[in-house]
Amino acid sequence: MFGSSESEDVSSEEEVPSMQDIPDNLTYRWPKNIVEIGEASVPDEPSNRKIQLKLHRASDKICAFGSMGNTRICCVVMTPVNESDQEDFEAGVSVKLRGATYVNEITLRDCIQSMIPSSRLKRTFIDISFHVYSDAGNVVPTALMTVLLALTASRVDVKGIVTCVTVLITPEENLIVNPTKEEEQKARDKTPEFAYVTVMKIMKDDHVRWWDVEGLPKASQVSKAMSKATQEASNLYPHMAATVQKLIDNENYDL
């Protein structure tokens, strides 16, 4: 389950900026001069929240912007360092996240490392930072799908298309796809019979690469929530695959 980290929570209920709120020259933090890759409605989400992915390339970094509803994340991937570039070389992935103290950076790092083939991972060092400047829930799914775009733009090999979904279990045994932060918080506060399941997939098939349960669910509901989250992640595959393909085909990125 997710634990606490030393990251500073800078999110605010009032801070729900749109892309129009971002100055044109603020590319080092929240880029506006970016290409919109596209958006897709998340299935069965009554509040009609959407996943959006945008990208900006700077001289020494890739800035990917991901949002779902009012959750907004900036993911920065520094230019990967290869084994041949340094004498004192240490391979791996470094992950820092600010703005959501309940997300465990080590868990996030492990998920990202599982996206990268071991043959590449053992010869490369990748520095990744996330800034969650508006948290309305679904931080981990938004972060993992955003970093996929950033890694691809950084020419880092990945094992496949990443999709990730959170499903909330309520005391009435309802399953809510992509819950709000307030709904998730009930599970993190260990409110009886509230829980959520997060599932990450890397391939198109039904294999789940990583999953996590938070809260105090009924045992009978965990498998139902897992099945629901897995199906919803599969439903996201065509959109994420089209997003990555559009990135590769976009001449602006010289890929």
Instruction: Say what the pLDDT of residue 2 is.
Output: 44
Bigger pLDDT: 87 or 189? Answer: 189
Rounded mean pLDDT, 18-43: 39
Share of the chain above pLDDT 90, in %: 55
Query: In this structure, how many other beta carbons lie within 10 angstroms of the beta carbon of residue 134?
Result: 21
Interacting residues of 168 by C-beta distance below 8 A, sequence separation 6+: 175, 176, 179, 183, 184, 187, 194, 195, 196, 225
The CA-based diameter of the chain, rounded to the nearest angstrom, is 58
Residue 90 sits in which domain range?
A: 19-249
SS3 labels along 63-82? EEEEEECCEEEEEEEECCEE
| CA torsion angle 85 88 92 95 (round to 10) | -100
Three-state DSSP class for residue 216: coil
pLDDT in tens, 104-146: 999 999 999 999 999 888 888 999 999 998 999 999 999 999 9
The total domain count for the chain is: 1
- Domain annotation covers residue 2: no
Bigger pLDDT: 44 or 231? Answer: 231
Q: How far out from the chain centre does Cα 235 lie?
A: 16
Instruction: Say what the pLDDT of residue 197 is.
Output: 97
- Domain annotation covers residue 187: yes
- Domain annotation covers residue 117: yes
- Domain annotation covers residue 10: no
Q: pLDDT at residue 254 above 50?
A: no
- Domain annotation covers residue 168: yes
| Alpha carbon distance 75, 65 (integer Å) | 6
- Domain annotation covers residue 254: no
Global pTM value: 0.79
| Angle subtended at Cα 29 by Cα 103 and Cα 104, rounded to the nearest 5 degrees | 10
Nearest to 163 by CA among 182, 179, 149, 176: 149
Q: What is the CATH number of the domain that holds 228?
A: 3.30.230.70
Please check whether residue 2 is in contact with residue 212, taking contact to mean a CB–CB distance below 8 angstroms: yes
- Domain annotation covers residue 75: yes
Instruction: Say what the pLDDT of residue 10 is.
Output: 35
Residue with tokens 């009435």: 172
- Domain annotation covers residue 25: yes
The residue count of the chain comes to 255
Instruction: Say what the pLDDT of residue 52 is.
Output: 86
Instruction: Say what the pLDDT of residue 255 is.
Output: 37
